[in-house]
Amino acid sequence: MVNLETSLCGLNLSNPLIPASGTFGYGYEFAELYDINILGTFSFKGTTKDARFGNPTPRIAECEAGMINAVGLQNPGVEKVISEELPKLKEVFNKKVMANVSGFSVEDYVYTCEKLDKEEQVGWLEVNVSCPNVHGGGMSFGTSPEAAAEVTREVKKATTKPVIIKLSPNVTDIVSIAKACEEAGADGISLINTLLGMRIDLKTKKPVIANKMGGFSGNAIKPVAVRMVYQVYDAVNIPIVGMGGVSTAEDVIEFMLAGASAVEVGAANLINPYVCKDIIETLPRVMEKYGITDLKDIIGGAH
């Protein structure tokens, strides 16, 4: 018998599988397909203070071994998420859920996190600092250690639940940003968000996506993600949620060896809606193949 259990910021997970924000909605589309309570947890659609329609379409472009998206954080706003989405989520999911939060100012983050922190079903706040700071010249919070730390510090002051900062990979030195978040009180780090990318249509000779640029995800980004998880694991003492191109049980093990305590699955959910179920079912067999009896034992094992 193998043990798939892990823990994240003091909360136990029956396994390390977490569908990533923006690829799993609020859970109920997938609950039509399988019992999503088999998941460790899931990170729900990125939520902002106000409702957002997001970017114009096309929002999606295909790449080799991946895709680019520029959805633009479409969501109904935190009040409606709490009044309409969370009650529906509760009907199909009985575990603690991860609330993914985005903002365009420190005040936005604090407002949204404070509201979601009060929701019983929310177990963790995953704070996406990849958004542009409207008061900081549009620079992403996640590209400066100071700005990322400020968001972390202010959110921590306003909340009681574990705060996981989700980092952007579009930076020169991810380690300094992770350390700044840890020093500011973050309970965990999740990485990586998507890599900034672009595709150009040869027929129209223009970018495929209306927003021109978007976030590149999928299998192709896995080596970048594994490397960043590995580097951050060396530098911080808080748990890491690893993600980027995960689509198999082998990928999960690779991320945990790099230093992840839990692993998110993103774009793969869009191609194979059963991918997380498949991974959970095949994980014991793959663990046995590599002589692993307890997943917790391999976290950071590659160091």
Site residues, other proteins (CB under 8 A): 22-25, 29-30, 32-33, 45, 53-54, 57-67, 69, 71, 74, 208, 218-219, 269-274
What CA–CA distance (Å, rounded) separates 125 from 296?
22
| Residue 205 structure tokens | 């000779």
Cα Rg of the chain, angstroms: 18
Quote the least distance from Cβ 222 to other proteins, whole Å.
Answer: 13
Nearest residue (CB) to other proteins, 75 versus 133: 75
Given the residues 9, 63, 113, 131, the one annotated as active site:
131
- Would you say 301 and 293 are in contact if contact means Cβ atoms under 8 Å apart? no
Quote the least distance from Cβ 199 to other proteins, whole Å.
Answer: 11
Q: How far is CA 234 from CA 42, 143, 194, 204, 229, in A?
A: 26, 20, 22, 46, 9
Quote the least distance from Cβ 162 to other proteins, whole Å.
Answer: 25
Nearest residue (CB) to other proteins, 103 versus 266: 266
Nearest residue (CB) to other proteins, 59 versus 222: 59
User: Strand, helix or coil at 149?
Assistant: helix
Quote the least distance from Cβ 260 to other proteins, whole Å.
Answer: 23
Quote the least distance from Cβ 32 to other proteins, whole Å.
Answer: 7
- What single-letter amino acid sits at 36? I
What CA–CA distance (Å, rounded) separates 287 from 295?
8
| Residue 239 structure tokens | 């748990």
Closest CA to 195 of 227, 163, 159: 227
Quote the least distance from Cβ 23 to other proteins, whole Å.
Answer: 6
Nearest residue (CB) to other proteins, 2 versus 65: 65
Burial class from Cβ neighbours inside 10 Å (0-12, 13-18, 19+) for residue 1 reads exposed
Residue 22: partners with Cβ closer than 8 Å, 6 or more residues away: 45, 46, 69, 71, 100, 266
Burial class from Cβ neighbours inside 10 Å (0-12, 13-18, 19+) for residue 81 reads buried
| Residue 227 structure tokens | 């490397």
Omega before 56 within 30 of 0, i.e. cis: no
Strands 214-217 and 262-265: unpaired
Nearest residue (CB) to other proteins, 30 versus 255: 30
Catalytic residue check, 276: no
Nearest residue (CB) to other proteins, 208 versus 238: 208
Which are the catalytic amino acids?
131
